[in-house]
Amino acid sequence: MPTDLRPVLFMLISTFSLSFNGLMGKLLTESFSTEVLGFLRFFLPASIMLLMLKSSGWVIPNKHNSRPIIIRALCVVGSQLCFLAALNELTLVESVVLFSTGPLFIPVLEKLMYRTPIQGITLACLAMTFCGVLLQAGNPTGMELKPELLIGLAAGGFNALSQVTLFKGAKSDLPPAALNGWCFMLAAIILLPVATMRVVTNDSLLIASNPFDTNMLLVLLITLAISIVSTQMFRAKAYKLVSTGSQLAPLIFTNLLFALVWQVSFFNETLETNKVIGISLIVLATIINTFGPKWIQHQRAAAH
């Protein structure tokens, strides 16, 4: 029997869409405020997913499965606002790398929420991550721990909390379109007052230095919405075809490779040596945290 390559293909499409999502976000930060763009990033894909849900069979969360959706909605709001704020100040690759530190924070959150023991390797990886952040903060005149670096790390932390709550939501009987659609719509509702206040106080939906015309903005927003939906739907399809999520874990890091391609292709931005080393440390820490415990367990089993 030939190996089923569909999970790999679906996961690659998901990570490609995720990186494209970051690219669209980076471009649109030049046209929208963080609050308004955050609202649009939730409302547009939520509308698409709920329309898909309506065509396949309307599903409304009940009191048993609504709690994870509410908690996750608050988490994704915090994560996306921090990610967009980081995109405003950092390069695309730097922002994506900091956002991708989410898996490192999951054991810490599980310790705080469920009293799950933290392994020593996780603490070592967290130390490597913060060393990487400090290296990124370096410049020819010395060390400067910029707030946007911490904001980028906060995006990873909120993303981790979102994944912890998503695990519980995934155990419910809600289909992916319902779980993500209602979550994103609630997140849009949470952001609506903030986005409205920003528009009212600035008397404009767009920021003054908007570099795109109306038609191009619509194209970018539609592309953003489709890429977000694609990320969620194809990742769900990939996970359904494998027995464990760890089988596809290595492919998650292709998001960083795609982001690097977008940065080289679309932005005239170069990374200094200290930033490359810092990013490499963060990526290495995330990889070790993902595969290290399984390798240690395998070695112990082989020794016995």
Digit-coded pLDDT (tens) for 261-304: 888 788 877 777 887 888 888 888 877 877 777 787 778 887 76
Quote the strand ranges of the chain, DSSP E. 138-139, 142-143
What's the sign of the alpha-carbon dihedral 263, 74, 105, 142?
positive
How far apart CA 211 and CA 200 sit, in angstroms, is: 21
Model pTM score? 0.80
Model pLDDT for residues 50-59, shown as the tens digit of each residue = 998 887 777 7
Q: Which pLDDT score is estimated for 175?
A: 75
Other Cβ atoms less than 10 A from the Cβ of 3: the count is 7
Q: Tell me which residue of 228, 304, 176 sits closest to 28, measured CA to CA.
A: 228
Asked if the model's pLDDT at residue 141 lies above 60, the reply is no
- Higher local confidence (pLDDT), 75 or 294: 75
Q: Which pLDDT score is estimated for 82?
A: 93
Asked which of 22-36, 73-87, 238-252, 260-274 is least confident by mean pLDDT, the reply is 238-252
Q: How confident is the model at residue 244 (pLDDT cuts 50, 70, 90)?
A: low
Q: Which pLDDT score is estimated for 91?
A: 84
How far apart CA 5 and CA 66 sit, in angstroms, is: 34
Asked if the model's pLDDT at residue 243 lies above 90, the reply is no
Asked if the model's pLDDT at residue 227 lies above 50, the reply is yes
- In whole angstroms, how large is the CA radius of gyration of the chain? 20
Mean pLDDT confidence for 81-90: 90
Q: Which pLDDT score is estimated for 1?
A: 32
Model pLDDT for residues 89-101, shown as the tens digit of each residue = 888 888 888 887 7
Asked which of 30-39, 89-98, 99-108, 221-230 is least confident by mean pLDDT, the reply is 99-108
Mean pLDDT confidence for 14-34: 90
- Residue 188 contacts residue 43 (beta carbons within 8 Å): yes
Asked if the model's pLDDT at residue 140 lies above 70, the reply is no
How far apart CA 239 and CA 243 sit, in angstroms, is: 8
What's the sign of the alpha-carbon dihedral 169, 170, 173, 174?
positive
- Higher local confidence (pLDDT), 131 or 209: 131
Asked if the model's pLDDT at residue 197 lies above 60, the reply is yes
